[in-house]
Chain A
């Protein structure tokens, strides 16, 4: 039943500031202890790093106070904590490998934060995005196809998902996650009624009409196209998962999930039959310890197994930052950043980080529940679920729950495109959450009555 309570809407910006201090504190401590663990003295550049991270956090915080005072107070601190921890781990691997990725990552963090700020400032109302539904679709297609262009596209580590200009390289497919989420939300909020109401019931499932199957088939074909043309398992899975989730949110019909799973299983089976690299990923997942699979020069399970060894050596409490050997694992600061973290911070640290992601995602879904318009619900839900699915695909690959794919942990892993994209997602979620938590505009002054003195919020229990 609905319970009507007197509830003064609160911005909770103070809470956010407190959590930010905590997040920056933890990240800075981690960064400093990396140096202690490796060299026995606090990391060089600690003041610059700490100052930089704190400044970035405060910029967003300030902008929120100014432009989105009712935004969710937990999203930003969690993102800052993850971004900061990622910097610490990347710095730790810089020390081990003699690379200099951490400054780049800090630069990309700044770019990402600026982008998130621009989203919050420039986008006064998220519903404006609905106007660009089909622009978003076109943009998605362009972004996905860009790496296939002859001059611009680049193949790195076997996947053609990069574009390069001079020394810079970028994964446009990352940004496509956002444009696709906008497109799906905009399209489905219009089409939901047709999709959800028409159709026959079979075995308790209301199946959609044949002609309504069009969009999901297009999405499926698109994700298979990504898989075939760009050899990128993870992104393909991510896009398809996003589409099915938003479709389910819009129609509330389980049949779409069933159809989606069947299509996915079929696509995966065909891909397995056709493509050697898919077979390698699967055999590396099923029998990673088989010497033949382990020693295979290309596509073997060496990386996965070394990651598992690292995690096992970390045990419950970890070796301590700077005291493990995460550098043994290839791509320890990007694809396998979770193994690096688990080795040095242990199961405890891994749980904490996964819990941060869970909190981030659930706050996003909470925003979707709270916001009043359908487009906002679908967009927030879709974006939050993308983050969740990406975490699952990456962590599941590292922890041997599912075959390994080429995705990276949001915020944590080294990589500019991913960081920029995820900060934009945070910007969007902050904007939507402001709309969700903002008190409804006070109605025009009514004749004096018993219930007009204060804002009312209706809470359903």
Chain B
């Protein structure tokens, strides 16, 4: 009977091998999928039970942190940002038991939670010492005084403000309005969270949307003339003194309509105007004709070099701005003045100014200064990174002078700061009838600027939706320029 006994023990060994194999499948091979299954409450409980790292501003102010909580979930996320959590809400995002995470909480989620691969070796030592792993802390580049100034200047108006440091691409401020209280969504009372979230979702003003990088894209209006002007100067055929046609109305080829100036008057004597003056007074007909006479693709190429069409992560995901393809002639004229189907994010507009300010070199926008493990060792400290040269130094210098004229004696005088040379450009973007009530909405007011002109420390873009408080009377120069000025003042300390 020993032979069948030996065979039987072989069968037993095979059965156990099958068990070991399937255990390996469940706990190792397929484990990732099983962990990610939404029905697996352990993953969420583990995540919530972890001491998530804090998010701080450039000067160390805590914007988001986990505090011990009573009950089944060990930690609760709080947002102590000043003057209110809402000021920082679109930067930090929220971290919710019910709805997951947004903003930096989402973009750097695995680092904050301590589960990122970059933290592998630290996790390994935690494993050996049996210590509960804790998340890395994230220090942002945003400066509280700039952020606060931007939020205060924008006030209750719908819109967004982005401020960049031109030489590095660091984001100094990013404000989107209206905002919300992320702490409300991070509550451990899930019913309260659901109600708050539903209320925010139903709000027509979309407070949850970060308009600075990820909202519905805006038509840029006349701030786009900077791109057209750069394209013209880059061809070498134009200088700031080049004379352009500037009639009261520019007949558009192939159509019966014509492109008018806002003022209804010609831009200069004899229906002619220099390129510099055209930018200074935001002459639509001059830029429209420039759009018609520039070589095919010149404006599109310049726009691409300035970042249009690029999917950036700063690390928030940035919706790519678009310059339309395959334009016919009237569309090219409209696109040249930022109408038609050109669409931008406020961050993109700030990048245009920043590239001009940085002698033509475009830096990648970056919100993160450093990521530090709990033991304060640096996990990641992003270096300033060039996205490329968007224009020659000469073009950048010429554009700078032209933009200074805009603020000194043009549409942007509201951005003047005594003792500081500010370079800027206004925009008033027609938006058409977006709500379908038969009458066009009030235009968006734009302003973008950088200062000081010869040693730029900040480039800023401001958009105020539908004219803000000024309504139909709004223009970029009147409504948005003062906001840009306050942000610049906050940076250069006046």
Residues of A with Cβ closer than 8 Å to B?
Answer: 245, 248-250, 252, 289, 294, 305, 308-317, 320, 324-325, 328, 342, 346-347, 350-351, 354, 357-358, 361-362, 365-366, 368-369, 374, 377-378, 381, 384-385, 388-389, 391-392, 395-396, 399-401
Query: Does chain A have a CB within 8 A of B198?
Result: no
In the complex, A311→B4 CA distance in Å?
36
From B40, which residue of chain A is reached at the shortest CB distance?
A309
Contacts of A357 in B (CB 8 A): 16
Query: Does chain A have a CB within 8 A of B43?
Result: yes
Query: Does chain A have a CB within 8 A of B130?
Result: yes
CB of B16 within 8 A of CB of A365, answer no
Contacts of A312 in B (CB 8 A): 26-27, 30-35, 40
**How far in angstroms is the closest Cβ of chain A from B50?**
12
Interface stretch of the complex, out of B7-15, B333-341, B356-364: B7-15
From A351, which residue of chain B is reached at the shortest CB distance?
B20
CB of B6 within 8 A of CB of A342, answer no
**How far in angstroms is the closest Cβ of chain B from A391?**
8
CB of B16 within 8 A of CB of A347, answer no
In the complex, A324→B4 CA distance in Å?
43
CB of A324 within 8 A of CB of B23, answer no
Q: Is the interface of B mostly helix, strand, loop or mixed?
A: helix
The answer, among A249, A315, A365, A377, for a CB contact under 8 Å with B27, is A315
CB of A308 within 8 A of CB of B15, answer no
Known: A312-B30, A320-B130. A362 touches B19 (CB 8 A): no
Query: Does chain A have a CB within 8 A of B3?
Result: yes
In the complex, A366→B6 CA distance in Å?
9
**How far in angstroms is the closest Cβ of chain B from A366?**
8
Q: Which 3 A-B pairs have the closest CB atoms?
A: A312-B34, A312-B31, A347-B27
Query: Does chain A have a CB within 8 A of B1?
Result: yes
Known: A365-B9, A385-B8. A310 touches B23 (CB 8 A): no
Contacts of B27 in A (CB 8 A): 311-312, 314-316, 342, 346-347, 350
In the complex, A460→B488 CA distance in Å?
94
Contacts of B4 in A (CB 8 A): 248-249, 252
Contacts of A316 in B (CB 8 A): 27-28
CB of A377 within 8 A of CB of B12, answer no
In the complex, A252→B3 CA distance in Å?
8
CB of A395 within 8 A of CB of B1, answer no
CB of A249 within 8 A of CB of B1, answer yes
Size bin of chain B's contact surface:
35 or more
**How far in angstroms is the closest Cβ of chain B from A346?**
7
Contacts of A342 in B (CB 8 A): 23, 26-27
Known: A310-B42, A312-B31. A351 touches B26 (CB 8 A): no
Query: Does chain A have a CB within 8 A of B39?
Result: yes
Q: List 29 A-B contacts (CB under 8 A).
A: A248-B4, A248-B8, A249-B8, A252-B4, A308-B26, A311-B31, A312-B27, A312-B30, A312-B35, A320-B130, A325-B41, A342-B26, A350-B27, A351-B20, A351-B23, A354-B20, A354-B23, A361-B9, A361-B12, A365-B8, A365-B12, A369-B6, A377-B5, A385-B8, A391-B16, A392-B19, A399-B26, A401-B19, A401-B22
The answer, among A245, A248, A311, for a CB contact under 8 Å with B26, is A311
CB of A362 within 8 A of CB of B8, answer no
Known: A252-B3, A358-B13, A381-B8. A347 touches B30 (CB 8 A): no
Contacts of B6 in A (CB 8 A): 369
Which of B22, B43, B127 neighbours the largest number of chain A CB atoms within 10 Å of its CB? B22
**How far in angstroms is the closest Cβ of chain A from B140?**
32
The answer, among B2, B23, B41, B130, for a CB contact under 8 Å with A369, is B2
**How far in angstroms is the closest Cβ of chain A from B360?**
51
Q: Is the interface of A mostly helix, strand, loop or mixed?
A: helix
From A342, which residue of chain B is reached at the shortest CB distance?
B27
Known: A245-B8, A347-B27, A347-B28. A396 touches B18 (CB 8 A): yes
Contacts of B9 in A (CB 8 A): 361-362, 365-366
The answer, among B13, B23, B37, B39, for a CB contact under 8 Å with A347, is B23
In the complex, A384→B4 CA distance in Å?
14
Residues of B with Cβ closer than 8 Å to A?
Answer: 1-6, 8-9, 12-13, 15-16, 18-20, 22-28, 30-35, 37, 39-43, 45-46, 127, 130
Contacts of A369 in B (CB 8 A): 2, 5-6
Known: A308-B34, A351-B23, A377-B1. A324 touches B28 (CB 8 A): no
CB of B22 within 8 A of CB of A362, answer no
Contacts of A311 in B (CB 8 A): 23, 26-27, 31, 34
Contacts of B45 in A (CB 8 A): 325
CB of A388 within 8 A of CB of B1, answer no
The answer, among A249, A313, A392, for a CB contact under 8 Å with B35, is A313
Known: A309-B39, A388-B12. A315 touches B28 (CB 8 A): yes
Known: A312-B26, A316-B28, A347-B23. A249 touches B5 (CB 8 A): yes
Contacts of A328 in B (CB 8 A): 41-42
Contacts of B26 in A (CB 8 A): 308, 311-312, 342, 399-400
Besides A250-B1, A316-B27, A399-B22, 10 more A-B contacts (Cβ < 8 Å) are: A311-B27, A312-B30, A312-B31, A312-B40, A313-B40, A315-B28, A328-B42, A369-B5, A381-B8, A396-B18
CB of A309 within 8 A of CB of B34, answer yes
In the complex, A245→B9 CA distance in Å?
11
In the complex, A324→B372 CA distance in Å?
28
Which of B30, B34, B42, B130 neighbours the largest number of chain A CB atoms within 10 Å of its CB? B42
From B32, which residue of chain A is reached at the shortest CB distance?
A312
Which of B2, B3, B19, B30 neighbours the largest number of chain A CB atoms within 10 Å of its CB? B19
From A189, which residue of chain B is reached at the shortest CB distance?
B1
In the complex, A328→B39 CA distance in Å?
12
From A247, which residue of chain B is reached at the shortest CB distance?
B4
Known: A305-B39, A309-B34. A378 touches B1 (CB 8 A): yes
In the complex, A289→B31 CA distance in Å?
14
CB of B19 within 8 A of CB of A396, answer yes
Contacts of A396 in B (CB 8 A): 18-19, 22
The answer, among A313, A320, A374, A377, for a CB contact under 8 Å with B42, is A313
Contacts of B3 in A (CB 8 A): 252
CB of B5 within 8 A of CB of A381, answer yes
**How far in angstroms is the closest Cβ of chain B from A114?**
29
Known: A249-B4, A328-B42, A354-B19. A347 touches B12 (CB 8 A): no
**How far in angstroms is the closest Cβ of chain B from A131?**
21
**How far in angstroms is the closest Cβ of chain B from A285?**
12
Which of A317, A381, A389 neighbours the largest number of chain B CB atoms within 10 Å of its CB? A381
CB of A358 within 8 A of CB of B12, answer yes
Contacts of A249 in B (CB 8 A): 1, 4-5, 8
**How far in angstroms is the closest Cβ of chain A from B75?**
16
Contacts of B25 in A (CB 8 A): 399
**How far in angstroms is the closest Cβ of chain B from A308?**
6
From A325, which residue of chain B is reached at the shortest CB distance?
B42
**How far in angstroms is the closest Cβ of chain B from A307?**
9
In the complex, A350→B25 CA distance in Å?
13
Known: A309-B40, A392-B15. A400 touches B34 (CB 8 A): no
From B132, which residue of chain A is reached at the shortest CB distance?
A323
In the complex, A325→B41 CA distance in Å?
9
Contacts of B23 in A (CB 8 A): 311, 342, 347, 350-351, 354, 395, 399
Contacts of A248 in B (CB 8 A): 4, 8
The answer, among B16, B32, B33, B39, for a CB contact under 8 Å with A358, is B16
From B15, which residue of chain A is reached at the shortest CB distance?
A392
CB of B8 within 8 A of CB of A347, answer no
Contacts of B8 in A (CB 8 A): 245, 248-249, 365, 381, 385
From B14, which residue of chain A is reached at the shortest CB distance?
A392
**How far in angstroms is the closest Cβ of chain A from B427?**
51
CB of A309 within 8 A of CB of B37, answer yes
In the complex, A374→B1 CA distance in Å?
8
**How far in angstroms is the closest Cβ of chain B from A254?**
9
